[in-house]
């Protein structure tokens, strides 16, 4: 199996390959150092941009060492970094000898105008990706915009650099083609080849079960004669429900809430939280779905040294932790687990009865603490927010040998991590799962 260190080194080599090529070929320039630095900024940005689709291609050998959620955040950050590099490119070249006309003049070669357009589109691309919720876009609309702009930007960057750097030596032009070919194939495989493969083996909805007033568990079975793919408890997959009846067809990532011990079906527990998920309760047995997975590394199975666990969940964040508890129960794992489960009210508690059954079973040794921010008057459990003081009281001071698994909305996750750090918990003992990719 390819290790994360090898992949990270390969990524660095490929993204920096344009600069490495310049150095190895000792390409001479008649321009100033500032101008050459500006050119190299564009070379580095092109290397980064060319590998952006590869990071989120969902290729297992790329995803497995890191987790797709980590790669997606890295993909987003590298996009911002590429913009920063490209913003320095025109002024450094202009002040380094090319003249301000490079920036201000309308009369420029077509490939210079193409570069300007690509830069503007890239800025728009990054801004929309960072703030699509604030802009009022749905996930599906944002993704369509993201995919279209991505193709235009990468194609435009290739053409611009090919003609603007007309003096590139043949080896460098070969490198340009190789990098573009990598990104083109990654995109084509993700958008065309993989969907066609999934369409040949659709899963079938076996049941749709309400867990709370707005949370549903969708149970899926594979095509007859096929097996469910292997997965670890806590991982997630992508599902495209094909329901007809005028219901939307969109791909979404959801945590796998079933235990890998269950070989007949695979399930996801989904909360009504957006335009698409509000229709999840209208899914019916017999509907079909395209399923791609598994992804992610949020599972105790990736950390076999963990023995004493603290699970911290907020709302629907219970799903990966529930999958882990089910697996521990099925495997009779001798583990100690404290679950701190925060919700708005009693009616929002998912899996309440099953959690009580697992705790009563004794394996794992589970203690469940429900925390409600807006409880009914007769509630006798914990109330309020899971703040630092409550964390300290419920967890105690013995934290050095414990592993903390946190899955909650972003603000709660950040708050909990801050609280755990104040208790002396090392970062390497805190494992998190972020809801959004």
Q: What b-and-e string marks burial along 274-310, b requiring 16 or more CB atoms within 10 Å of the CB?
A: eebbebbeebeeebbbbbbbbbbbbbbbeeeebeebb
Q: How many beta carbons lie within 10 A of that of residue 158, not counting itself?
A: 20
CATH topology of domain 304-433: Rossmann fold (3.40.50)
Q: Do the domains at 4-199 and 203-295 have one common CATH topology?
A: no
pTM: predicted TM-score of the whole model, two decimal places = 0.89
pLDDT band, very low/low/confident/very high, at 363 (cuts 50, 70, 90): very high
Mean pLDDT of 287-293: 96
pLDDT for position 412: 94
Q: What is the pLDDT averaged over residues 296-313?
A: 94
Residue ranges in 94-193 assigned as alpha helix (H)? 101-104, 110-131, 139-164, 170-188
Instruction: Tell me the average pLDDT across 335-358.
Output: 97
Topology adopted by domain 203-295 = Elongation Factor Tu (Ef-tu); domain 3 (2.40.30)
High-pLDDT (> 90) share of the chain, %:
75
Average pLDDT over residues 398-416: 93
Render 96-111 in DSSP notation, one character per residue.
Answer: III-THHHH-S---HH
User: pLDDT at residue 184 above 70?
Assistant: yes
Q: Regarding beta strands 365-372 and 336-343, do their DSSP bridges make them parallel or antiparallel, or are they unpaired?
A: parallel
Q: What are the structural domain ranges in the chain?
A: 4-199, 203-295, 304-433
In sequence order, what are the beta bridge partners of 295?
236
Q: How far apart are CA 132 and CA 142, in angstroms?
A: 6
The pLDDT tens digits for 10-51 are 999 989 888 887 777 656 666 788 888 888 899 899 999 999
CA dihedral (42, 47, 49, 50) in degrees, to 10, reads 130
Mean of pLDDT over the chain:
91
Cis peptide before 364 (omega within 30 of 0): yes
Comparing 59-63, 252-256, 394-398, the range with the smallest average pLDDT is 394-398
Give residue 391's Cα distance to chain centre. Answer: 28
pLDDT in tens, 81-135: 999 999 999 999 999 888 899 899 999 999 999 999 999 999 999 999 889 888 8
- pLDDT given for residue 31 in this prediction: 73
- Domain 4-199 carries which CATH code? 1.20.120
Which has the closest alpha carbon to 116: 144, 134, 89, 80? 89
**Beta-strand runs (E) in 301-359:** 308-314, 336-343
Q: Which pLDDT score, from 0 to 100, does residue 166 have? A: 66
């Amino acid at each position: 199996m390819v290790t994360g260190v090898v992949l990270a080194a390969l990524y660095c080599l490929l993204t920096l390959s344009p600069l490495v090529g310049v150095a190895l070929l000792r390409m001479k320039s008649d321009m100033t150092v500032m101008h050459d630095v500006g050119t190299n900024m564009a070379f580095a940005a092109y290397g980064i941009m060319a590998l952006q689709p590869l990071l989120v291609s969902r290729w297992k050998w790329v995803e497995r060492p890191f987790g797709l959620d980590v790669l997606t955040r890295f993909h987003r950050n590298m996009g911002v970094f590429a913009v920063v590099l490209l913003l320095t490119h025109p002024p450094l070249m202009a002040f380094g000898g090319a003249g301000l006309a490079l920036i201000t003049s309308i009369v420029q070669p077509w490939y210079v105008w193409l570069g300007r357009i690509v830069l503007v589109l890239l800025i728009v691309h990054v801004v929309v990706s960072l703030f699509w919720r604030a802009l009022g876009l749905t996930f599906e609309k944002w993704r369509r915009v993201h995919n279209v702009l991505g193709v235009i930007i990468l194609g435009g960057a290739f053409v611009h650099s090919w003609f603007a750097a007309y003096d590139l030596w043949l080896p460098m032009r070969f490198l340009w083609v190789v990098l573009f070919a990598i990104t083109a194939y990654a995109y084509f495989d993700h958008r065309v080849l993989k969907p066609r493969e999934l369409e040949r083996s659709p899963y079938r909805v076996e049941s749709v079960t309400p867990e709370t007033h707005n949370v549903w568990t969708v149970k899926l079975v594979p095509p007859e004669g096929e097996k469910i793919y292997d997965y670890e408890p806590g991982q997630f997959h992508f599902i495209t429900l094909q329901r007809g009846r005028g219901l939307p067809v969109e791909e979404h990532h959801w945590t796998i809430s079933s235990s890998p011990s269950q070989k007949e079906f695979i399930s996801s527990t989904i909360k009504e939280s957006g335009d698409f998920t509000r229709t999840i309760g209208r899914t019916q047995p017999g509907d079909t779905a395209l399923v791609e997975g598994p992804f992610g590394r949020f599972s105790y199975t990736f950390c076999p040294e963990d023995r004493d666990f603290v699970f911290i969940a907020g709302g629907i964040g219970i799903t990966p932790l529930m999958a882990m508890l089910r697996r521990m129960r099925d495997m009779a794992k001798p583990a100690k687990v404290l679950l701190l489960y925060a919700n708005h009210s009693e009616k929002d508690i998912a899996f309440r009865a099953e959690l009580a059954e697992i705790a009563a079973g004794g394996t794992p040794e589970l203690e469940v603490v429900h925390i409600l921010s807006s409880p009914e008057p007769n509630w006798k459990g914990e109330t309020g927010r899971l703040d630092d003081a409550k964390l300290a009281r419920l967890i105690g001071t013995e934290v050095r040998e414990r592993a903390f698994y946190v899955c909650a909305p972003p603000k709660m996750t950040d708050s909990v991590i801050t609280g755990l750090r104040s208790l002396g918990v090392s970062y390497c003992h805190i494992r998190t799962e972020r809801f959004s990719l």
